[in-house]
Amino acid sequence: MLPAWTGLPRPGDQVERLFSVPSPYHDLVLTYAWSRLDLDEGLGLVCLDSGHMIRVEGREVVVDGGEAWAVTFRVELDRGWRTRLAHMALVDDGGERTLLLEADGEGNWLRNGTPSPELQGCLDVDFAATPFTNTFVIRRLGLSVGETAEIRAAWVGVPHLEVEALEQTYLHLQPRAGVDRYEYRASGAYEGWIIEVDQDGVAIDYQGFARRIHP
């Protein structure tokens, strides 16, 4: 059972259900920002536009250990929170590189226009540049407290934009001080990370990775 809806669309919602009065735009735009905890300096911003499709656009600027890069990304999801398109463009001292992933929502992917069988079975994209892509999984799964699920995600690293299928586990923990929590584990990791989320499933504090600064 999903937490009470306060802003983000639930799987299966129609645009008409998102508004109590007619809107000429049929859109709902929400903005979030995080500060990175694992780097010298890092600030990320995402905007979510929910209409007939769920569209997310984000930016991140990072300085770490003498390196610096800026990345922009766009993700389109269907109403079931399955990734259908993901585009990233990154600029650093080596120049600009881009990545385009396309999916049919059934586990089949194209990478820069070419079939990518190594991503077979993935329904979610997971950008290392932002905690917001964890929201896609949280909303798609709708786990009750105590439930766990194993998924396969198309993980994209930064700054090199490498792509791999990554086995991941999400456990919906008991809330603490009224804050919803998940434990996230990735294959090959010795321990998990706790993600505190708001009632929309958006990260407030991602252990060792990012802390939300807006709103």
pLDDT digits 0-9 by tens, 26-48: 456 899 999 999 888 888 888 88
Is pLDDT of 214 > 50? yes
Q: Are strands 83-92 and 67-77 parallel, antiparallel or unpaired?
A: antiparallel
What is the Cα–Cα distance from 104 to 123, expressed in whole angstroms?
A: 9
Average pLDDT over residues 58-69: 92
What is the Cα–Cα distance from 203 to 195, expressed in whole angstroms?
A: 6
Q: What is the pLDDT of residue 70?
A: 96
19, two tokens: 């508004």
Instruction: Record the pTM.
Output: 0.86
Is pLDDT of 197 > 60? yes
Model confidence pLDDT, tens digit, residues 156-165:
999 999 999 9
Distances (CA, A) of 174 to 61, 151, 195, 205: 34, 21, 12, 16
At position 214, the amino acid (one-letter code) is: H
Q: Helix, strand, or coil here: 119?
A: helix
Beta strands in the chain (DSSP E): 28-36, 41-50, 54-64, 67-77, 83-92, 95-103, 109-111, 114-115, 124-127, 148-156, 163-176, 179-186, 193-197, 203-206, 210-214
Q: What is the pLDDT of residue 9?
A: 54
Q: Where are the alpha helices (DSSP H) in the chain?
A: 133-141
Q: How far is CA 76 from the centre of its chain?
A: 11
Indicate if the alpha-carbon torsion angle 165, 145, 211, 194 is positive or negative: negative
Is pLDDT of 1 > 80? no
Average pLDDT, the chain: 87
Q: What is the pLDDT of residue 53?
A: 84
Distances (CA, A) of 211 to 12, 35, 202, 203: 30, 5, 11, 8
